[in-house]
Amino acid sequence: MRKILTLALLLSFFGSLPLRAEEGPAPSEPKALTSKQVSQEMAETWCAKMEECSKEKSMSVKECQKILFKSFKAGFDRQPKEKPIQLERGSFDMCKTNVTKGTCEGLKGAKILPGCEFISLLGQQ
């Protein structure tokens, strides 16, 4: 039950972020990251933070990573093919850094972390 509650809180955070339109990269910008790369790295980052912040260990980090990877990947798979979410390494690394540096209490709030704006688009169709 705690696993479900923990994941529900984390996923509700993702769903509470406001929408922001994303523009695709200009031709001269670096190649966009794949949805698999983003899903894997975000699952690793968020689950490490969950492990750090959780007082009661209701699930393993590996279990958390499997669940969040599937959740992120499903969000990417729902995106319209004509408007894919394009992320470049710099802003994505900023997002991961901000999750890692964020306080446990601060991450419970429904605010967008710099570089993480793309997360709010994953729940939309």
**Cα 34 to the center of its chain, rounded Å:** 14
Whole-number Å distance between alpha carbons of 53 and 114: 20
Nearest CA to 10 out of 63, 66, 55, 68 is that of 68
pLDDT attached to residue 24: 47
Q: How far is CA 107 from CA 12, 14, 53, 60, in A?
A: 12, 11, 10, 20
Identify whether 91 is part of a domain: yes
Residues 120 and 20 sit within 8 Å (Cβ to Cβ)? yes
Identify whether 67 is part of a domain: yes
Identify whether 98 is part of a domain: yes
Identify whether 14 is part of a domain: yes
pLDDT attached to residue 74: 94
pLDDT attached to residue 23: 46
Count of domains forming the chain: 1
pLDDT attached to residue 18: 42
pLDDT attached to residue 32: 83
What tens-digit pLDDT sequence spans the chain (125 residues)?
455 444 444 444 444 444 343 444 444 455 789 999 999 999 999 999 999 998 887 889 999 999 999 999 999 999 988 988 889 999 999 999 999 999 888 877 767 889 999 998 887 65
Instruction: Determine the structural domain holding residue 111 and report its residue range.
Output: 2-19+33-78+86-116
pLDDT attached to residue 105: 86
Identify whether 26 is part of a domain: no
Residues 51 and 29 sit within 8 Å (Cβ to Cβ)? no
Q: What is the pTM of this model?
A: 0.72
pLDDT attached to residue 26: 47
